[in-house]
Amino acid sequence: MPWSRTEPHPLLVQWAQRTGQTGAGRTAVVIGCALGADAEFVAGLGFTTTAFDVSPTAIQLARERHPRTAVRCVTVDLLHVPAAWQRAFDLVVEIITLQALPPELHPRAASAVRELVAGSGTLLVIGALPDESAVSPPWALTRAEIEGLASGGLDTVAVETMAMPVNQQNRAGELNTIAAEVSQQSSPSAVQPGRNPRTPIRLCRDRIRAIV
């Protein structure tokens, strides 16, 4: 199975540590959670965590893998989320799910992702940077698509492109990874280069931080 990480995504861990995430009294959702490693990590930060995947098999395996989990793990299609989830989550984590969808569905899926974010909430997007001419998923997520996530009251805080540290590469598609943080925070975060950025830091616009 290609998406069977047993550990949380290293960039999720890195981001949570860097930004000092604590979830007490806050809600989180992990989109396309697969076997649940990221959701377990987020729940471990104290968030009341929901995780969902369109694949019933993935959800069943996630439940089997984490039998005593505090995570609410459900089979849901991102394109048809329950109405009660609209703007319901203080933290939304999206890791390579948009990219699993055909590019023509990206606008609709991106809108669905955005609509999960509560007022003052944060959306963290981590994606792979596959060859632009890829003929199978993950499809490329363009910078315009990433920055397009910041609308409807959401501002981009940071877009970073970084190479995964060699000992943390767990599949070829993640050799180069992009992480975007979109939120309604009122002040920009400090610019921090990734561990192995390929090119210099670029500030895109007010309240957008980018390492490209």
Ligand X SMILES: C[S@@+](CC[C@H](N)C(=O)[O-])C[C@H]1O[C@@H](n2cnc3c(N)ncnc32)[C@H](O)[C@@H]1O
Neighbours of 200 (CB within 10 A): 8
Identify the CA nearest to 107 among candidates 173, 138, 151. 151
Please give the C-alpha separations between residue 76 and each of 97, 101, 112, 145, in angstroms, as whole numbers: 13, 15, 12, 23
Identify the CA nearest to 138 among candidates 106, 178, 180, 173. 173
Q: Dihedral of CA 25/51/123/42: which sign? A: positive
Applying CB under 6 A, which of residues 26, 29, 48, 53 lies at the interface with ligand X?
53
Applying CB under 6 A, which of residues 79, 134, 191, 203 lies at the interface with ligand X?
79
Q: Give alpha helix (H) positions in the chain.
A: 10-19, 37-44, 56-65, 106-114, 143-148
- Does 65 help bind ligand X (rule: CB under 6 A)? no
- Contacts (CB under 6 A) with ligand X, residues 130-159: 138
Point out the residue whose Cβ comes nearest to ligand X.
Answer: 32
Query: Looking at beta carbons only, is 169 or 185 nearer to ligand X?
Result: 169
- Of 40-48, 52-60, 61-69, 151-159, the window that binds ligand X (rule: CB under 6 A) is 52-60
Query: Looking at beta carbons only, is 9 or 208 nearer to ligand X?
Result: 9
Applying CB under 6 A, which of residues 45, 54, 154, 163 lies at the interface with ligand X?
54
- Does 61 help bind ligand X (rule: CB under 6 A)? no
Place of tokens 């003929």: 135
- Of 16-24, 59-67, 74-82, 204-212, the window that binds ligand X (rule: CB under 6 A) is 74-82
Applying CB under 6 A, which of residues 21, 49, 50, 97 lies at the interface with ligand X?
97
Applying CB under 6 A, which of residues 43, 73, 78, 125 lies at the interface with ligand X?
78
φ and ψ of 19, to 5 deg? -100, 0
Neighbours of 4 (CB within 10 A): 13
> Exposed/middle/buried for 40, CB within 10 Å: 0-12, 13-18, 19+?
buried
- Does 77 help bind ligand X (rule: CB under 6 A)? yes
- Does 96 help bind ligand X (rule: CB under 6 A)? yes
- Does 203 help bind ligand X (rule: CB under 6 A)? no
- Does 73 help bind ligand X (rule: CB under 6 A)? no
Alpha-carbon span 92 to 114, nearest angstrom:
9
CB of 31 to ligand X, least distance (A): 6
Residues that bind ligand X (CB under 6 A): 3, 5, 9, 32, 34, 53-55, 58, 77-79, 95-97, 100-101, 138
